[in-house]
Amino acid sequence: MKCSRFCLLFFVLLSLQISLLSASYAGGLLSVNVSTDKQSYGPGEVITITGKISDETAQGVAFESVSIQVNDPNGNPIHLTSILSGVDGSFGDQFTVPASSTDGDYTVFAAASKPGYVDASNQTAYAVIPEFPSMTVLWLIPFSVLLTMLLTRRRKSAGN
């Protein structure tokens, strides 16, 4: 085919033009800030995740797709969601710590993407601290009262 050199040159130039247009069309860089309302939680507590998507001028980026993933200490996902940032670039999500959660450090990942911008991601962490079972707490009260009584008697008998 006679057009092979011409066709090849045409496609190379077309590819180069498309890549240059794509690079020049890409918007600014994004940044993601993400945090939780506390540093540690017990099973059954509600976690509030908040954050903000900003561009390189520190202005909030509206209506941006934000993906949130929370992983347990073994790296297994326990919460996944996708939301849009608000008009000012802020976003928020809530979920309840599962009752079966193990103690340890959990990681919250947030990733943002919007056409015309370079994707961004960030992460934060929180800890799950097991609560004392209610029966343990109930047994501690009489034990502490008994211990106080024994120590008080000992002091009185040592004083005589």
pLDDT digits (tens, 9 = 90+) for 57-99: 999 999 999 999 999 999 999 999 999 999 999 999 999 999 8
Cα–Cα distance for residue pair 108/106, rounded to 1 Å: 7
Would you state the structure tokens that stand for residue 137, as one six-digit string? 């707490």
Measure CA 32 to chain center. 11
Select from 3.90.550.10, 2.40.30.10, 2.60.40.1930, 3.30.1360.170 the CATH code of 25-129: 2.60.40.1930
Give the burial class of 61: count Cβ atoms within 10 A of its Cβ; 0-12 exposed, 13-18 middle, 19 or more buried. Answer: buried
Query: Which has the closest alpha carbon to 35: 104, 85, 109, 103?
Result: 109
Strand partners, 106: 126
**Do 78 and 97 contact (CB within 8 A), yes or no?**
no
**Amino acid at site 49:** I
Domain boundaries in the chain? Answer: 25-129, 131-160
Size of the chain in residues: 160
Would you state the structure tokens that stand for residue 160, as one six-digit string? 């005589």
Which residues, other chains included, contact 118 with Cβ-Cβ below 8 Å and sequence gap of 6+?
26, 27, 28, 29, 30
Query: 3-state DSSP call for residue 56?
Result: coil
* pTM across the whole model: 0.66
HSE, side-chain direction, 13 A CA sphere, residue 75? 0
Model confidence band, residue 142 (pLDDT cutoffs 50, 70, 90): low
**Amino acid at site 158:** A
Model confidence band, residue 130 (pLDDT cutoffs 50, 70, 90): confident
**Amino acid at site 2:** K
**Amino acid at site 42:** G
Q: How many helices (H) and strands (E) does the chain have?
A: 2, 8
Mean pLDDT of the chain: 79
